[in-house]
Amino acid sequence: MKPTRPFHQTPVITIDGPTASGKGTVAASVAATLGFHLLDSGALYRLTALASARYNIEPEDGDALAELVAELHITFREGCAQLDGVDVSTEIRAEEIGNRASAIAVHGQVRTALIARQRAFRKPPGLVADGRDMGTVIFPDATLKVFLTASDEARAARRHKQLIQKGFSANMEDLLRDLRERDARDSNRAAAPLKPAVDAKTLDTSGLSIDQAVDQIIGWFNAVPA
């Protein structure tokens, strides 16, 4: 159900959390239900990772990566991510690109270069933004901040299912190890570490269906005072 109360500014719902916590699927469903725009911030980092691989820029070279971000031609159309006018939605979901994106995201220069691109997604009637620092850095004034969690095992199982469905090979033990390494890297980086905003509502999705998680978030959103 769409909210009927007025807003003095364009509302934003941020949904942060670790990899495979369900935030992408949940965010897309919440946005569709409310008729809001959607920002998949992780896709921006994956697109940067893909471009850096194509141009042979090392993940450790923060300055070169920041310069690359400034020159990237990125568009999102009808659910597809395009790089230089070419649909790369499938390519950026490969596990090696996800790991490269996590390595790239530790650089403060890269994160700073992407801030303006992300904030530009805030347009009427509203925005749902998912990522790792949406509520802490990109939209600190968000109407509602949510932090999704799930057990390591539940997240690895979800990631395994996603990769198999998309035609990628996947090993549960490898996924669990990579997931934990990525969590550690994301949580311990100096620039915008993964953590809940102080005013975020935490939602453990380990035993929840997508619909249940979406209903909870929309319920919280509709309960925010006008």
**Domains annotated on the chain, with CATH:** 12-213 (3.40.50.300)
Cβ pair 21, 150 in contact under 8 A = yes
Q: How confident is the model at residue 109, as a pLDDT? A: 92
Q: How confident is the model at residue 7, as a pLDDT? A: 42
Q: How confident is the model at residue 78, as a pLDDT? A: 67
DSSP state at residue 92 = G
Cβ pair 50, 41 in contact under 8 A = no
Q: How confident is the model at residue 167, as a pLDDT? A: 79
pLDDT, averaged per 10 consecutive residues of the chain (226 residues), comes to: 50 93 91 92 93 95 94 80 90 90 90 90 94 93 95 88 80 87 82 87 93 97 90
DSSP state at residue 144 = E
Give residue 172's region: left, alpha or beta (phi > 0; psi -120 to 50).
Answer: alpha
Q: How confident is the model at residue 219, as a pLDDT? A: 97
**CA–CA distance, 24 with 129 (Å, rounded to integer):** 9
Report angle CA 45, 46, 52 to the nearest 5 degrees: 90
| Strand duo 12-16 + 144-149: pairing | parallel
* pTM passes above 0.85: no
Q: How confident is the model at residue 160, as a pLDDT? A: 86
Q: How confident is the model at residue 193, as a pLDDT? A: 81
